[in-house]
Amino acid sequence: MTHNPDAAAAEHAESRPVLVVDFGAQYAQLIARRVREASVYSEIVPHTITAAEIREKNPVGIVLSGGPSSVYEPGSPSLDPEILELGIPTMGICYGFQVMAQQLGGEVAKTGAREYGSTEVRLAGDGGVFLNEQPPTQSAWMSHGDSVVKAPEGFEVLASSDSTPVAAFGSDERKLYGVQWHPEVKHSAFGQQVLENFLHRAAGIAPEWNADNVIAEQVARIQAQVGSGRVICGLSGGVDSAVAAALVHEAVGDQLVCVFVDHGLLRQGEREQVEKDYVEATGIRLVTVDAADQFLTALAGVSDPETKRKIIGREFIRTFEAAQAELVAEFAAEGDPIKFLVQGTLYPDVVESGGGTGTANIKSHHNVGGLPEDLQFELVEPLRTLFKDEVRAIGRELGLPEAIVGRHPFPGPGLGIRIVGEVTFDRLELLRAADAIVRQELTAAGLDAEIWQCPVVLLADVRSVGVQGDGRTYGHPIVLRPVSSEDAMTADWTRLPYDVLARVSNRITNEVDGVNRVVLDVTSKPPGTIEWE
């Protein structure tokens, strides 16, 4: 490890959050990400949160998200009015802006003039502390039907558009501000500056949240939770489990032991990457279980994707439990039982499962099929407040190999769900070879950071006629599925350069026996999912 927190790190207090109040916005998570990009810690909370609950969380600021509703609709999301009286700097966005205006005595009306998409916004004067040092006219992204037509008493109108007389307002005295547009989306040319003006200037929040602080906080938290107890982690080789294990190891060292299950559904070189590069970088004790034959036997004759997932999950549980039982017996004999299980839960998992406090359910996509509910361990979840890009930053700070930290997301069931049809050894070898070529060419072209992931899919039950050499062939198609995304909730297909696609296609059809056609999936999500199965 390259990172060594000093003694002061153990006393590092957890960052006070900026709370993002979610009114049902599709962009609530994006707002939270943008706040963190300004080096300020953020958390998402429901709009039903009370003023008393807000006080308990002791936030340094509040951001009210947008939402699909109208403030005039019966039963539309509302806000505890006392929240705006707490003296906490608050910023409203779109629907949140209208809720602020209405509750503070302003006026929101159905003007009949809707604004959707790129809209020209004009600042009033210098824009005040909230919007200053920005162009007097700028392009912003709007999505609203109702409009604020009168600012609350004591508030200054800071911006307007052709259809919206009050597109932004603010009160420096009360530290309450709002905008009708969406500063969190990149279509708003100066959106991030609007957020940073609110956070750093209007609210006076220092940009102090960074990878070093996160590591220090989590090390202190893990040490307090685990004490001298033993910890086990199911290591998949993916970013989440790799960084989670590294953080725990940073905190408790040799009290942690990792189990790596090779189910035979991995991509080329992944087992070696974990056993050699990761272990060398961390010094973690790793127990590898070779279970490829067990999984292939269980999957024989099965083509249905859901059945495959269930089989892979079941076999993973059995394999992990067997390895866990051996380790539990080993440590129990030494009088030092295993009490804790590391889980790579990320913040989107917490939010999407309801954002509840306490221990989150173990989610199946982290550990292939979901670990049994009756495992007698207390969960250690060092990443549950982080987004994927933040996890990568933590991994780099901890000195993990770039091949692991920069790795594209890979499903727990592995290549088992990238073979459309029955999973066999020969088909796995074929797909492994094709996948390796795609990864090599994307890396050589410098495209790894530009795409979210690129599943390579084998249509095992489909054959097409081809011509290779002097004869006709009857081979399988390979599907390329390059996608761009920020969080995998939505995604668009990535426009890879034609020369890269040509090299990939030529190499696969020339080097991978049994493939005579390469096709490109150009479907967004929605309607299509990222994985085919």
Element (H, E) at 54: helix 51-57
The answer, yes or no, to whether the previous bond of 527 is cis (omega within 30 of 0) is: yes
The full DSSP string for 286-347 is EEEEE-HHHHHHHHTT---HHHHHHHHHHHHHHHHHHHHHHHHHHHHHTT--EEEEE----H
Q: Which of 43, 115, 184, 397 is catalytic?
A: 184
Q: What's the rounded Cα separation, in Å, for the pair 354 and 356?
A: 5
**Pick the catalytic residue: 182, 249, 263, 476?**
182
User: How many angstroms separate the CA atoms of 203 and 377, rounded?
Assistant: 42
Per-residue pLDDT, 426 = 96
pLDDT, residue 366, reads 37
Tell me the three state secondary structure of residue 457: strand
Active-site pick, 94, 233, 258, 454:
94
Active site residue 182: yes
**How distant, in Å, are the alpha carbons of 220, 223, 391, 399, 478 from that of 252?**
10, 7, 19, 17, 45
Contacts of 91 (CB under 8 A, 6+ apart): 61, 62, 63, 64, 176, 177, 178, 179, 195, 198, 202
Active site annotation includes 263: no
Q: Is 94 a catalytic residue?
A: yes
Q: Which pLDDT belongs to residue 3?
A: 47
Cα 37 to the center of its chain, rounded Å: 14
What does the chain come to in residues?
Answer: 533
Residues contacting 511, CB < 8 A, separation 6+: 433, 437
Burial 301-327 (b: 16+ CB within 10 A, else e): ebeebeebbebbbebbbbbbeebbeeb
Token duo for residue 463: 């054959």
Between CA 114 and CA 25 the distance in angstroms is 18
Q: How far from the centroid of its chain's Cα atoms is residue 41's Cα?
A: 15
The residue whose two tokens read 């919007």 is: 131
pLDDT score, position 347: 84
116: nearest Cα among 27, 180, 31, 189: 180
- For residue 63 the two structure tokens come to 């951001």
With vertex at residue 19, the alpha carbon angle to CA 15 and CA 25, rounded to the nearest 5 degrees, is 140
Alpha helices in 151-262 (DSSP H): 191-196, 211-226, 239-252
Cα separation of 243 and 212, whole Å? 14
Side-chain half-sphere of 401: how many Cα atoms within 13 Å? 18
pLDDT in tens, the chain (533 residues): 444 444 333 333 457 999 999 998 778 888 999 999 999 999 999 999 999 999 999 999 999 998 888 888 888 899 999 999 999 999 999 999 999 999 999 988 876 666 677 888 899 988 888 998 888 998 888 877 778 889 999 999 999 988 888 999 999 999 999 999 999 988 888 889 999 999 999 999 999 998 888 999 999 999 999 999 999 999 887 899 999 999 999 999 999 999 999 999 999 999 999 999 999 999 999 999 999 999 999 999 999 999 999 999 899 888 988 998 898 888 887 778 888 999 888 887 777 665 533 333 333 333 333 445 555 788 999 998 898 889 999 999 999 998 899 888 888 899 999 999 999 999 999 999 999 999 999 999 999 988 999 999 999 988 887 777 666 777 899 999 999 987 676 789 999 999 999 999 999 999 999 999 999 999 998 888 899 98
